[in-house]
Amino acid sequence: MNVDASHRRPRALVWRRLLSPGSEYFELRERPDGWVLAGSVVLVDNGLPHFVEYSITTNAAWETQEVHVLRRSGEGEARLQLRADAERRWWKGEEELVHLRGCSDIDVACTPSTNTLPIRRLGLGVGQAADVRTAWIRIPNLALEVLPQRYTRLTPTRYRYESNDGRFVAEVDVDAHGLVTNYLPGWERIAVTGD
């Protein structure tokens, strides 16, 4: 019974933002039928402070099912709630967001945590690559766009990430859980709970 309890403890970490001031406290929580990725991000955008809190629920295959985002700033707060069904249709309340149809993953712009979703879902071998169509949540306005991405597994712990038809390229280092340790030039992990 102690083994199960420790296995279900969340894996917690802190990332430091490198391009501008900011940080994130993040937890990866296991559920009986999937995972929850949850984070609280403090960042500066165009000289203004923002707070973003999000949670992403997946099934056991790391397919996104629900997304909740709250953004606060001096100008007020905004919320976004999405769900994705088994046919990869995305919904905001009862409204289908047709332009996102077929997107396999969510990408919240202010966190490196959402890179874990395709990394875990795809299960690429070293030398393999895959293209993904992602629903991208821009921060701070919470606008939704389609963002094509490509992941190439370079080593057991390093991926090349490309987006915008290769206009943005970065190398992403991950741990055994698929969580980012370094994502230059954007983020670095500075604290983590033990395995």
pLDDT tens digit string along 35-74?
999 999 999 988 889 999 999 999 999 999 999 999 999 8
Cα–Cα distance for residue pair 190/162, rounded to 1 Å: 24
Cα–Cα distance for residue pair 51/124, rounded to 1 Å: 33
How many C-beta atoms surround the C-beta of residue 112 within 10 A?
Answer: 25
Strands, E assignment, 32-167: 34-45, 48-59, 64-73, 76-84, 90-92, 95-96, 105-108, 129-137, 144-155, 158-163
pLDDT digits (tens, 9 = 90+) for 84-114: 999 999 999 999 999 999 999 999 999 999 9
Cα–Cα distance for residue pair 118/161, rounded to 1 Å: 11
**Amino acid identity at 23:** S
**Amino acid identity at 56:** I
- pTM for this predicted structure: 0.92
What's the whole-number average pLDDT of the chain? 93
The total number of structural domains that make up the chain: 1
Distance linking the first and last C-alpha atoms of the chain: 18
The pairing of strands 105-108 and 129-137 is parallel
Note the pLDDT of residue 7. Answer: 52
Cα–Cα distance for residue pair 161/6, rounded to 1 Å: 33
Which domain covers residue 39, as residue numbers? Answer: 2-192
Phi, psi angle pair for 134, to nearest 5°: -115, 140
HEC sequence for 19-30 = CCCEEEEEEEEE
Place 195 in a pLDDT band, splitting at 50, 70 and 90.
Answer: low
